[in-house]
């Protein structure tokens, strides 16, 4: 299984969109500051995750969300108001 996940920094409001096979390990890396987003944002929370059967599906949706470059788009996506292609 693969996951698309979205993190948010509580203090800055910034989002991070990623894809991983092991969501627990990846969250730990972010929380321990082993990623650039985790180093800059100490107060991150997981706000969205979606499971996929294979990596290509997760990467496709990750790319779609990242291309939007919009906080309001990600907010609506998380709320389920946007259905991806």
Q: Where are the domains of the chain?
A: 2-78
pLDDT value at residue 48: 97
Contact partners, residue 8, CB within 8 Å, separation at least 6: 14, 15, 16, 44, 45, 47
pTM: 0.93
β-bridge pairing 44-52 and 15-20: unpaired
Query: How far is Cα 28 from Cα 15, in angstroms, rounded to an integer?
Result: 17
pLDDT value at residue 82: 87
Q: Count the residues in the chain.
A: 85
Could you say which architecture CATH assigns to the domain 2-78?
3-Layer(aba) Sandwich (3.40)
pLDDT value at residue 29: 96
pLDDT value at residue 11: 92
Which stretches of the chain score pLDDT less than 70? none
pLDDT value at residue 81: 92
């Amino acid at each position: 299984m693969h996951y698309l996940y979205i993190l948010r920094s509580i203090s800055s409001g910034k989002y991070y969109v990623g894809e991983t096979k092991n969501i627990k390990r990846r969250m730990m890396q972010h929380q321990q500051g082993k990623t650039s987003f985790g180093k800059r944002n100490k107060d991150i929370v997981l706000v969205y995750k979606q499971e996929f059967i294979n990596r290509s599906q997760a990467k496709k949706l990750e790319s779609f969300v990242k291309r939007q470059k919009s906080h309001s788009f990600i907010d609506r996506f998380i709320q389920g108001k946007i259905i991806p292609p």
